Amino acid sequence: MCARQDRTQPARSSVGSVIPTTRLDIMSEAVAADPWPTLRALREQGPVVWHETYGRWLVTTDRAVRKVATNFARFTVEGTVVEEMFGADAFISMDDRRRHDDLRNVWAEAFRKQGLDRLRPAVERIVAGLMAPVAARLNDGEAVDLSQTLCRPIPTLVIALLMGVPDEALPDIVRWSDAMAAGGTTYLSETEAARARIAREAAKQGLADYLLALIAARRVRPGDDLVSVLVHAPAGAALPDDQLVQNLRQLLFAGNETTAKWLAHIFVTYGERGDTRRALVADRTLIPPANDEVMRWQGVVGTIVRRVRGGPIELAGVELADGAALTCLLAAANRDPDRYDDPDRFDLHRPARPNLGFGVGFHNCLGSVLAKMEAEIGVNALLDAEPDYAVAAPYAYSSVPMRGPMPVVVAHDRG
């Protein structure tokens, strides 16, 4: 996400060098389709670049992004589009470590590997149920849009299962999530930005109304779902309903939107790279690291935002003023040649090294282990059903801040 804030704030002094500046458009559909030349150009300008149009600093390298993301005392989420999108009382928006951890830890056990291992059979059943009609259609020679039949339904059904959301509510959940995602993106046109914000706020309210009813039901009749866990945990029981809603809304959004786009990247990558797909068919143990490489190489969350607090601070030789707005370009950092050899190349056997796809610091993704399990099960199921699939239609990308290909139409590879 890249918010249009503090557009008039001037660039401050740089330590021993000229401040690199840019007006490169990183929000257009053309850049979303192939962002890598633009992101490379920004990274080559320097680790910290002033964007004259956005009125904010762009952080471009792995090292600089990690410094920002792990120093929550000086680089805050508060007052950014994240807080605007999810609410000040959602733990993703909090830099107060104690409050953040009290809320996040309510669900931490459910998202640890041991807890998710118990969920695995249910996820396998969900994926198998979704895959059966897909396999039948592929076997009949049809082309199938996996974005509608697998990418979106897999994480939506899984997070709905965890939260106790009934199937009939899922179309609304998806619609609200899509509008929230679109409303968190910067648009160069103020008219577009206003329209997206209106749609986002309406979606947030629709989801809030639904969650309020769910909270009331779980207070009376608790279950073993994540809504019940939060409502009846000491940290949750002390919260008013609006704060409960903010945290549940964040969880529901993250649990389906980002994973759906990652699955789309994965299926497209393997559908276009026959050598990679055949290697995975032959050795299924390669699937988890291959999926991680897709996350590094393409990525879903291309940007995170922060704001300087507590006075001026130096970052990579550039002095940033108190209150300065930053956009950390995770997509650029994940192809940083100082961290990865030949970073623009997809390498199935790249030595393991954590990338920034799931974030870093205490605002890293709570559901990363769950997303990895869903992706592994989903890829295995597709390769079982159709090991020789290929991408069969053009696709487009949403945006750099929240990026995924759509549609993902595949068919049997007759080549």
The residues with which 42 forms a beta bridge, in sequence order, are none
In order of 175, 258, 411, the CA distances from 156 in angstroms are 11, 10, 24
What pLDDT does 4 receive?
37
* Token output for 137: 């259609």
What pLDDT does 57 receive?
97
Position 408 confidence tier, pLDDT thresholds 50, 70, 90: very high
- % pLDDT > 70, the chain: 93
* Mean pLDDT to the nearest integer, 253-278: 94
> CA–CA separation, 2 vs 13, rounded Å?
23
With b for 16 or more beta-carbon neighbours within 10 A and e for fewer, the 201-233 pattern comes to eebbebbbebbeebbeebeeeeeebbbbbbbeb
Third-level CATH fold of 21-348+356-410: Cytochrome p450 (1.10.630)
In order of 83, 246, 288, the CA distances from 196 in angstroms are 16, 20, 35
Position 414 confidence tier, pLDDT thresholds 50, 70, 90: confident
Q: What value does the mean pLDDT of the chain take?
A: 90
* Mean pLDDT to the nearest integer, 32-45: 96
pTM of full prediction above 0.85:
yes
| Opening angle at CA 144, ends 141 and 147, nearest 5 | 165
Beta-carbon count within 10 A of 193 CB? 16
- Whether pLDDT at 79 is above 70: yes
Neighbouring C-alpha atoms within 13 Å toward the C-beta of 94? 16
> CA–CA separation, 220 vs 213, rounded Å?
11
* Mean pLDDT to the nearest integer, 205-224: 94
Beta-carbon count within 10 A of 37 CB? 10
Identity at 122, one-letter amino acid code? A
